[in-house]
Structure 1
Amino acid sequence: MQAFDQIQELWQKHEVEVKVSADEMLQQAKKEVNGLKLKSALNILGMLASFIAIAALWIFFHFESWTTHVGISITIIAIGVYTLILYRDYRLISKTDFTAHPHEYLNNLKTYQLNRYKLYNSLYWFYVIALSLGIIFYFVEILAHFNTVQKVLAVGLTALWMLFCSTILRKAVISREKERISLLIEKFERISAQISTPE
């Protein structure tokens, strides 16, 4: 057993330097950048679909209470602002050609990473508070048409869904995206180092 531990220790100390050309790294990074752009675009489309669905609900259904109009207004404004923030971040990673300007793209990627951190932390809670207020105002009129069991189900399921999105889902998304962006930044730093110090 001691011999195995010594072999394992030697193996861990042994470092193999893998030389990957800047072109190969750029090709790998291109796939990851395209995946990041696609994910960002899908997030924006999802938010736009939510915005349109809620706006259509507001336009095509007749609501009598002012609270419903206030609730829908708050919800639409929150979704609109969050969508604009997502779009701003999308433009940040899609406006620069990373193959022509890797240094500039690296800086944009670092800014994107910082923006995403803010988005999933402080800005996210403003979004949740605004949505919660919108739903509360919306429910004032809507819940009046429900019986007690339906009211409990509607409020309970809405609260559980928001709790799930704010805790488990949010943490999983943050973790996955943080790792993905960090790896991409690391690749661009290596690419930049190879370009600035040619062999």
Structure 2
Amino acid sequence: MQAFDQIQELWQKHEVEVKFSADEMLQQAKKEVNGLKLKSALNILGMAASFIAIVALWIFFHFNSWTTHVGISITIITIGVYTIILYRDYRLISRTDFTAHPNEYLNNLKTYQINRYKLYNTLYWFYTVALSLGIIFYFIEILSLFSLIQKVIAIGLTFLWILFCSTILRKAVIKREKERIALLIEKFERISQQISTP
């Protein structure tokens, strides 16, 4: 039994240092960067599809009230501006070859992190207010065609959806993306250190 205790004590004192080469870290970072790019591209495609769908609705359906046209215009402009912002951030992380220029990519990634923080905090509330205003103007004509129960259901579901997206979903997305970008920045900092030290 004493031999077992000595072996256990020796094992606990023994520290194993695992070192990855810069190439291994770059391969791992490449996988994560591609995932980040894909997610950003899918966000842009989703916003573009929403933009096209609302424009098609505006073109192919006849609306009588000027408020509906104002509501759709506000919504289209809001989605268009937000899509341009998403595209600008996408270009920031996709235009530099991170395998050839890890330091430059690290700087771009830090800028991307700051932009995403602004997007999910300040800019998100402008987006939500503008979309809500667009929906309110749009609903003035549309809700006049509904019965009282349908009006209550439409307004209630819209309010609950905006509330859900603004609280639970937004917080989960922010947390996941913040961790993912911070981990990627940490990896690129380690890669830069390994490359700069012999």
Whether these two folds match at TM > 0.5 is: yes
What does 1:1-199 align with in structure 2 at a 5 Å threshold? 16-198=16-198
For the residues of structure 2 that align with 1:35 and 1:73, how far apart are their CA atoms? 33
For the residues of structure 2 that align with 1:16 and 1:179, how far apart are their CA atoms? 26
For the residues of structure 2 that align with 1:44 and 1:15, how far apart are their CA atoms? 46
Tell me the SS of whatever aligns to 1:121: helix
For the residues of structure 2 that align with 1:24 and 1:170, how far apart are their CA atoms? 33
Tell me the SS of whatever aligns to 2:18: coil
For the residues of structure 1 that align with 2:82 and 2:16, how far apart are their CA atoms? 45
2:3 is matched with none
Amino acid at match of 1:117: Y
Q: Which runs of 5+ in 1 are unaligned?
A: 1-6
For the residues of structure 1 that align with 2:63 and 2:14, how far apart are their CA atoms? 71
Spell out, residue by residue over 1:1-44, the C-alpha distance to the aligned partner (whole angstroms, 9 max, x if none): xxxxxx9xx95x97542110000000000000000000000000
Amino acid at match of 1:59: I
Q: Percent identity, please.
A: 85
Change in 2 beyond 3 A, CA 1:162/1:15: farther
Change in 2 beyond 3 A, CA 1:15/1:75: farther
Q: Which runs of 5+ in 2 are unaligned?
A: 1-7
Query: TM-score, normalised on structure 1?
Result: 0.93
For the residues of structure 2 that align with 1:152 and 1:53, how far apart are their CA atoms? 25
For the residues of structure 2 that align with 1:152 and 1:49, how far apart are their CA atoms? 28
Tell me the SS of whatever aligns to 2:64: coil
Change in 2 beyond 3 A, CA 1:197/1:59: same
For the residues of structure 2 that align with 1:110 and 1:158, how far apart are their CA atoms? 35
Query: TM-score, normalised on structure 2?
Result: 0.93
Bigger radius of gyration, 1 or 2? 2
For the residues of structure 1 that align with 2:73 and 2:15, how far apart are their CA atoms? 59
Q: Which runs of 4+ in 1 moved over 3 A?
A: 13-16
Query: Number of paired residues?
Result: 190
Spell out, residue by residue over 1:131-173, the C-alpha distance to the aligned partner (whole angstroms, 9 max, x if none): 0000000000000000000000000000000000000000000
Spell out, residue by residue over 1:62-89, the C-alpha distance to the aligned partner (whole angstroms, 9 max, x if none): 0000000000000000000000000000
For the residues of structure 2 that align with 1:184 and 1:14, how far apart are their CA atoms? 30
RMSD value over aligned CA atoms? Answer: 1.5
Amino acid at match of 1:43: N
